[in-house]
Structure 1
Amino acid sequence: MSKKAKKTAAQPAPRATPKAASRGQPKTATKGPANTLNGATAERIAIALEAIAGHLSAASPAAGRPESFGSADAFVWHPDGRLSPVPRVSRVELGLLKGIDRMRDILIENTERFADGLPANNALLWGARGMGKSSLVKATHADINVDRKPADRLKLIEIHREDIESLPGLMDLLRSSDFRFIVFCDDLSFDGNDASYKSLKAVLEGGIEGRPDNVILYATSNRRHLLAREMIENERSTAINPGEAVEEKVSLSDRFGLWLGFHRCSQDEYLAMVRGYCGHFGIEIADEELEREALEWSTTRGSRSGRVAWQFTQELAGRLGVRLAGK
């Protein structure tokens, strides 16, 4: 062997430094069994989640389908598109609502016309707290349905104030049904920079599609114009054209064709409510004692209203051991 060949053979092969070998290349995991285990676990989790989602999707959408409206007379709307049936509505019988005879007669007449397929107005029930606004809506709905066939019964759908922006979606769902609906929003009002009232305006009158013929809207509020006074004043003081800014917001209540005002009741009306409740539920007590205690109760509450009368009746019934069955 020549000297040159020996010298070449004696030289060791150059070794790549770890830094050079790893430059620009991602590190690879060396624990194969662990990776296999993690992959299998993730797959099992994914299969379980798919099964849960399948069960949920099979159970919940049925409540919002038009064919399910025959299952109940009342529903609660959820912004995800579900309508939850309410088997038993919390309501007061129409005959127990005292001191609001005029408003009661007007709302019943309007609702009857709507139920019969005749023109009727959206209604805004506004005024003093505890005077039976929401109770009147629910009692009217029950009274209208007393002698109606299942196919002709009115459906009551409650939409919560915070979900009012989803109202157009609810209208789309109801539009294709053969039933007629009262869409009811309790304690409706708007504050600050809340712009969701525009969704309500569009449904009431201003949208292209408008309100479906088989839907009427009833709302209750402590405010006649649904907006706080300071909200209206702020619009007047900051807008470039104050008149137009205020008009846009105030016009919301104008789109309810029927305004029913509820005012604080007199002492005689308050006592009539108490006596009506006691007579209905069989609470026996001397009239003089009943009057004295009822007035004392209203004084401690600082107001007279149907709600205060009902709260006193519950207190009295509990003290005398009388059950308020069927309330």
Structure 2
Amino acid sequence: MYHLTSKLVIYKNINEDSILFRLAAICQQLDNGNYVREDLISDIYIEINRLLDLSTQYGFDKNLWHNYLAFILAMAQNPFTIVSEKVGTNTGTVNKFVKNDYKIFKQLFDYDFSKLENELGIDCFSIITDYDAVVKSEQIFNKNVSEKVQQLSNSIEQAKDEKELYKIVTDFYKLHGVGDIGLNKAFRVSTDGNSSILCPITTTSDIKLEDLVGYESQKKELLQNTEAFVIGRKANNVLLYGDAGTGKSASIKAVLNQYYDQGLRMIEVYKHEFKELPKIIDVIKNRNYRFIIYMDDLSFEEFEIEYKYLKAVIEGGLESKPENVLIYATSNRRHLIRETWSDRSDMSEDELHRSDTVNEKVSLAERFGVKIGYYNPQRKDFFNIVTTLARRHPEIKLTDEELESLANKWEIRHGGMSGRTAQQFIDSLLGTVGNPDD
């Protein structure tokens, strides 16, 4: 195996501490005859353990060795894979090196571990190449990556040679993308200083816009702007403002689910992380995706200055915001920054031109070309939300009149009329279904 991995060129930047390279080093020791049997077996089991951990993280099944090699190809970020992400199969002298690498990967796929197993008296490789994984909840593993990698693995298994493998992998790059950014739909700012600035969010909500009852004009305006952005037309930053619990955040999450397969990705950023925005944009500006930087519950007290970072990114500075990046924010405040009565006056004990400061604060909201208001529903609309949500659950047998009566009592005790209150009321009903005391 070592004589294969040592000849990689385009994929040479695989981590030297990877399972692949460490197994290759183990195979080299075996070929040289320079090893202590117990130590070599121990080293092999360490790598098998790492492979099992990775397989659990990504929900791999059947041939874990094949899945692992496909995972390496799917996650490899280098100039060739990034270009392939944009154009798929392409021409150029570099393809000679690429096809040589794919010939090596094909040999790795077909690698016979029986010599190693017979020499050391172990069977762990036979087990991992015919593995029956325990069925796991989607909350445990990264489903976005799992399905794509296993699809790639199955396709490579059918490839006759490096030419077919080249077409399979470059088509995969064009269709699904490369690395974490290509294979995941949502990200947060990483707190690990040794890794990328972006960390994948592996379990995301599957909510759809049709799941949100009401607010049709608001959803339509949000969709129009997002669709224009996704297909490459001009679009605006969006501010969803208004009452709490009205579906602002849910609408943005639903938009991601609707356009993910068209190349939309989302990055969640909190205001204390705004200083990282230039780094984030530097990572994503040349990728073949559309990115929404999502800021939930955005607002500032008058003494907070993080909004200056945001203003600089949206508009201003020598480097303009890339055309593949928009900012979507939600807030309970339309102007985002808290104002006081003293802001209304040009008189201040400590500032000569108070109105200039007010203008600076208000101008932040003006950076959002689309502002959409979400307000608490009227009583009739609230009951419509309740009954619509209830009818999605046949186990709730109450009549509309009974639902309205109970919902009226619920909202009085639980924060008033809103979509969130309605959903909480339905959840409470579902929690008591089948209870003899309900």
Same fold (TM over 0.5): yes
Where structure 2 has 5 or more consecutive residues not aligned to the other structure, the ranges are: 1-49, 55-74, 78-177
CA deviation string 1:9-60 (max 9, x = no partner): xxxxxxxxxxxxxxxxxxxxxxxxxxxxxxxxxxxxxxxxxxxxxx9xxx9x
- 1:306 maps to what in 2? 419
Structure 1 stretches of at least 4 aligned residues deviating more than 6 Å after TM superposition: none
Deviations 1:220-256 (A, max 9, x none): 0011111112297289534211221111111000000
Q: Pick from 293, 300, 303 the counterpart of residue 406 of structure 2.
A: 293
After superposition, the Cα gap between the structure-2 partners of 1:232 and 1:309, relative to the gap in structure 1 and judged at 3 Å, is farther
What's 2:107 paired with? none
* Correspondences of 1:180-259 after superposition (within 5 Å): 180-230=290-340, 233=343, 237=348, 238-259=350-371
Contact 1:192 1:231 in 2 (8 A): no
Corresponding residue for residue 282 of structure 2:
172
Tell me which amino acid in the other structure corresponds to 1:319: T
Structure showing greater relative contact order (alpha-carbon pairs closer than 8 Å, 6 or more residues apart): 1
SS of equivalent residue, structure 2 residue 340: helix
* 2:414 partner letter: R
State the alpha-carbon separation in 1 of the partners of residues 373 and 342 from structure 2. 20
* Distance change in 2, residues 1:231/1:197 (3 Å): farther
Query: How many residues are matched?
Result: 258
Q: What is aligned with 2:250?
A: 135
Cα RMSD (Å): 2.6
Give the corresponding residue for 2:378.
266
Deviation at 1:96, TM superposition (A): 2.3
Contact 1:190 1:226 (C-alpha < 8 Å) held by counterparts: yes
- Residues 1:114 and 2:229 aligned together: yes
Q: Select 1:74's aligned residue among 159, 170, 186.
A: 186
CA separation in 2, counterparts of 1:136 and 1:300?
26
Q: Aligned partner of 2:373: which letter?
A: G
Q: Which whole-Å CA distance do the structure 1 matches of 2:283 and 2:218 have between them? A: 31
Contact 2:301–2:337 (CA<8 Å) still a contact in 1? yes
Residue type of the partner of 1:304? M
Task: Please tell me the residue identity of whatever aligns with 1:171.
Answer: I
- The answer on whether the counterparts of 1:96 and 1:276 sit within 8 Å (CA) in structure 2 is no
In the alignment, the residues of structure 2 paired with residue 272 and residue 161 of structure 1 have an alpha-carbon distance, to the nearest angstrom, of: 36
Counterpart mapping for 1:17-36 below 5 A = none
Tell me how far apart the structure 1 counterparts of residues 434 and 307 of structure 2 sit (CA, whole Å): 47
How far off its partner does 1:299 sit? 1.2
CA 1:144–1:235: 2 relative to 1, 3 Å: farther
Gaps of 5+ in 1: 1-54, 323-327
In 2, Cα distance between equivalents of 1:94 and 1:122? 19
CA–CA separation in structure 2 for the residues paired with 1:143 and 1:233: 42
Percent identity (aligned): 36
3-state SS in 2 of match to 1:259: strand
- 1:320 is the counterpart of 2:436: no
How much does 1:187 deviate? 0.5
C-alpha deviations, 1:155-209, integer Å up to 9, x for none? 0111122212211211111112111111101001111321111110011111221
Letter in 1 for 2:310: L
The equivalent of 1:101 in structure 2 is 216
Rounded to whole Å, the distance in 2 between the matches of 1:135 and 1:314 is: 17
Paired with 1:312 and 1:232, the residues of 2 have a C-alpha distance of 41
Query: What's the CA shift for 1:281?
Result: 3.0
Contact 1:76 1:83 in 2 (8 A): yes
Q: Conserved in 2, the CA contact under 8 Å of 1:191 and 1:231?
A: no
- Letter paired with 1:90: S
**Partner of residue 278, structure 1:** 390
Structure 1 match to 2:139: none
